[in-house]
Structures are given as structure tokens and as C-alpha cells.
Amino acid sequence: QKEVEQDPGPLSVPEGAIVSLNCTYSNSAFQYFMWYRQYSRKGPELLMYTYSSGNKEDGRFTAQVDKSSKYISLFIRDSQPSDSATYLCAMSASGGATNKLIFGTGTLLAVQP
């Protein structure tokens, strides 16, 4: 079993839709949770960073962490064609960006105009 599971998609939605992206994990030691966006042939860029359980909102993006279920989500409101990319979840057991990140496989999102 992989430490982090993520549905690879592809996920296609119309412009303006609410998008829900999810990851599950098996390692209860994970405390730090991140979502990255990766455009084709580019490196990932950090979207959201959360610690432990709870919600975090930034503009159209909301990240949720449910440690009891080992489940994290990223919601995108009012999705735009420019949101079309691969979204990767990542997590680590220790704080700080020097610690080892475990990535999901990424979900390919396509927002249709």
C-alpha cells in the first residue's frame, strides 16, 4: 500500500464549477499537509500548507485536513480554465521544508471554458 493515495483523474469540469480534490494516507505520523499545482512540463508550485487537522482558506482555494480519517481535500471555487493543471498533495511527518515530502501521484484537472 502506498503511503499516499490520490486519484489520478483526469477530472473534467465546466468553468465556474466547484472542484474537490482528495488524498488519503496511511502514515499517522504525518502532521504537515501541502497542495501543489504543476503545469505541464513545469515544476510544482505550492498552493496551500496546513498543519494538523482543520481548514485553511486562501482566495478560491480551501484545504481541509481530517487526521482521524487520514483524508485531506482541496476545494477550488469558481474554477477557471487557468486552473487546469495537475494537483499534487504532499505530506511530511516533521515540520519545516527540509523534511522529506511524500507526494501523491497527482490529479489532472481540466476546466472547460
Query: Given candidates 15, 18, 45, 51, which one binds another protein under the rule CB under 8 A?
Result: 45
Told to check if 104 binds another protein by CB under 8 A, we report yes
Told to check if 1 binds another protein by CB under 8 A, we report no
Of the two residues 75 and 103, which places its CB atom closer to another protein in the complex? 103
Angle at 109 between CA 68 and CA 65, to 5 degrees: 15
Angle at 15 between CA 53 and CA 113, to 5 degrees: 145
Told to check if 48 binds another protein by CB under 8 A, we report no
Read off the DSSP letter of residue 17: -
Task: Return the number of other C-beta atoms located less than 10 Å from residue 101's C-beta.
Answer: 14
CB of 9 to another protein, least distance (A): 10
Told to check if 105 binds another protein by CB under 8 A, we report yes
